[in-house]
Structure 1
Amino acid sequence: MTNTNGTALEIARTYVEAIANKDVDTIVSISADDVVCTSPLGQTTGIERFRAFQDGFAKMITNLATLAVYGDDEQAIVVYDVETHPVPHAVVAELIKVKDGKLGSTHVIYDATPFVAYAATVQPH
């Protein structure tokens, strides 16, 4: 795990590395208890719901390449290209904001259309 000093840039670097490694424990360890995650799927609040969101994403990932990480003390942007079981290629951007030296919020931006198309083909259990 990369050591963070609480800046958004360092947290963002650790965060995207942890996503690539499917290391949900590290993601949780750098996140605030009341972390907010907004994505095309909706909004989650709190560390347990964020863990569940990250667990679900980690299970889908087959490969992730970091394209860019930019930021300062308070906010950062990560951009990555991710291959998943349902969708072979998606470019994702996240706006990360820091709260008291931890990941306080992330706004996940991606084209959900291919994921919706895949979900429409899946038979319910």
Structure 2
Amino acid sequence: MTSTALQVALAHHRAWTGKDLDGAMRYIADDVVLDAPAGRIAGIQAYREFLAPFAERFLVRAELIAAFGDEDTALLMYDAETIPAKSAPAAECVTVRDGKIVYNRFVFDRTPFDEFRRRQAQPRP
């Protein structure tokens, strides 16, 4: 666990899952690109706007399942417990340059969130 990219990815993950968004953003490049299920997001401000609602309002905790990396790339897999979903598996594959994340390919299982929305939309007796 001494690779540069892995250390940066883990530090970023610990910060945002600990609800320290300012700390997390210290590991993000100004021109970061994030590819997520909802589409491509570019730039540090857009990245923050994407992450903030989830990290600050919905995340209860995250359990790291696996983390691997080398000098340029790291892959983290984790299970997030959220208000809408008890278990929401996710993975992030990041590219790091000069100690900052410049690219993040973020994938997660939308199923638990879709089920939550369906339950919320059902008429109440």
Q: State the TM-score bracket (shorter-chain normalisation).
A: 0.7 to 0.9
Unpaired runs of at least 5, structure 1: none
Q: CA deviation at 1:93?
A: 0.8
2:101 corresponding residue in structure 1: 103
The one-character-per-residue Cα deviations of 1:25-79 (angstroms, maximum 9, x if unpaired) are 1121111001111111211100001111110111210111111111011000011
Q: Does 1:70 align with 2:68?
A: yes
- SS at 2:80 equivalent: strand
Count of residues in correspondence between the two structures: 119
TM-score between both structures, scaled by the size of structure 1 = 0.85
Seq. identity, %: 34
- SS at 1:80 equivalent: strand
Which structure has the larger Rg over C-alpha atoms? 2
Separation of aligned partners in 2, 1:115 and 1:78: 21
Q: CA deviation at 1:114?
A: 2.1
Letter of the structure 2 residue corresponding to residue 95 of structure 1:
C
Unpaired runs of at least 5, structure 2: none
Pairs within 5 Å for 1:41-60: 41-58=38-55, 59-60=57-58
